A = this chain, B = another copy of it.
């Protein structure tokens, strides 16, 4: 008897091998460039602790009692100020506080997408979003990603009677591509969405982690200048990459009318996000220490990214190609076709050499490219990343020697 279909949908959507990968990643001595976590040694433990103490001291009842499903007013106000600083107009918009931006994605997908609905995703796109979408059994429309981000212009090819329900896009240093959607493409997408009445879900966990180049305004910020566009886009971000993922604080900004409905769905999901964590997060943001803290993180990540890029370029540069990201947490690379490298098969050899990474196939809604891989550069010190790449390079040599010794049956 099928007792629960939901987990089966996840099973169908899930590529094998991830749990094995994380078993390898946990072995002593193994250098893991597989995960997607921020550097724990950079957490502002003192600042966070002091915010919790102040929340409990100043507002014990609000911090410990049930709160409103849309979030604590004080955190909403702090997030609103932050968003205005980024050029976002909140006129006609509302902010919902969510249990991390993962919940914001789930809330929107669960509310908007029914089985068989089309949704647009980048190719490659965020693994965690693919898991969420799988629960709703959509059909996918995929947009290839190049150095200027997703090729959104391809949406013009869609037949007007087969329009998608949702466009999911991560315009800043998307996970895994690391690409940034260009200003022109952002404007094009907003115009297309408002003309065709298609809803955009903009996922921006990494925007604050820009290490190079000039910032590009978010879709939500650009929408104010495009007639009708504010009604057709939602924006989500999080404290996970700038403060700490363990807080599970995200926010979702969307048109007020839709927000009212989604607030009720959020309430059924977990009543509300922890009031204590929200009251502490509000005080942390109000204290004004975040910009200097993010600057520290950016400096460290820039060093790490440069170390990784230099090492990959000098060791494997003739074998794979990549675009150097202007920020974020990942380097996305692809082995040249003539190398004939399947990064899922390579992984076992890499693990034997003491390094792991994420094979790229996990990040595709369809037509996975087996020669791609994702390297995280935020968790290791520069010298660790260099050693990781040296091991990876040895694994490639070993893998190719093995392949030559036992050619595939034609």
Interface residues of A (CB under 8 A from B): 1, 3-7, 10-11, 14, 37-38, 40-41, 43, 45, 48-49, 52-53, 56-57, 60-67, 98-100, 102-103, 106, 110-112, 114, 128, 131-132, 134-135, 165, 197, 199, 240, 244-248, 258, 261-262, 264-265, 267-277
A64 pairs with B49, CB closer than 8 A: no
Contacts of A134 in B (CB 8 A): 268
B67 pairs with A246, CB closer than 8 A: yes
Q: Which 10 A-B pairs have the closest CB atoms?
A: A7-B261, A246-B275, A64-B244, A40-B61, A99-B270, A64-B246, A131-B268, A103-B270, A248-B274, A4-B111
A7 pairs with B264, CB closer than 8 A: yes
B261 pairs with A248, CB closer than 8 A: no
Total copies of the chain = 2
B45 pairs with A56, CB closer than 8 A: yes
A65 pairs with B102, CB closer than 8 A: no
Bound complex: CA A53 to CA B50 (Å): 9
Contact with A7, one of B3, B265, B269 (Cβ below 8 angstroms)? B265
B131 pairs with A3, CB closer than 8 A: no
Whose C-beta in chain B lies nearest to the C-beta of A245? Answer: B66
Whose C-beta in chain B lies nearest to the C-beta of A131? Answer: B268
B53 pairs with A268, CB closer than 8 A: no
Contacts of A40 in B (CB 8 A): 60-61, 64-65
A60 pairs with B45, CB closer than 8 A: yes
A100 pairs with B270, CB closer than 8 A: yes
Contacts of A114 in B (CB 8 A): 5
